[in-house]
Amino acid sequence: MPLIQVSMFEGTSADDKRLLARRLTEAVQSTLNVSIEAISVVIYEVPPEDWAVAGKSLG
């Protein structure tokens, strides 16, 4: 059972997150040839101040 985990900044609309989940599910289904019922998507929203790149906070 594939589990797709996405971390992204806060603020993306619910509609856009639904679309992302649907398209990721479709891509995994067609690539791995598994049923869509077996695929889970979890989206974690992170505030920019809790995200760092190269040791520097993005917030």
Residue 15, both tokens: 């509609």
Looking at residue 49, its pLDDT comes to 95
Express each pLDDT in 20-58 by its tens digit: 999 999 999 999 999 999 999 999 999 999 999 999 999
User: Strand 52-53 vs strand 56-57: parallel, antiparallel, or unpaired?
Assistant: antiparallel
Looking at residue 19, its pLDDT comes to 98
Q: Decide if 2 is catalytic.
A: yes
Domains and CATH numbers, the chain: 3-57 (3.30.429.10)
22 Cβ contact partners less than 8 Å away, ≥ 6 residues apart: none
d(CA 59, CA 44): 17
The widest CA-to-CA distance across the chain, in whole angstroms, is: 41
Looking at residue 59, its pLDDT comes to 87
* Catalytic-labelled residue, pool 2, 20, 21, 43: 2
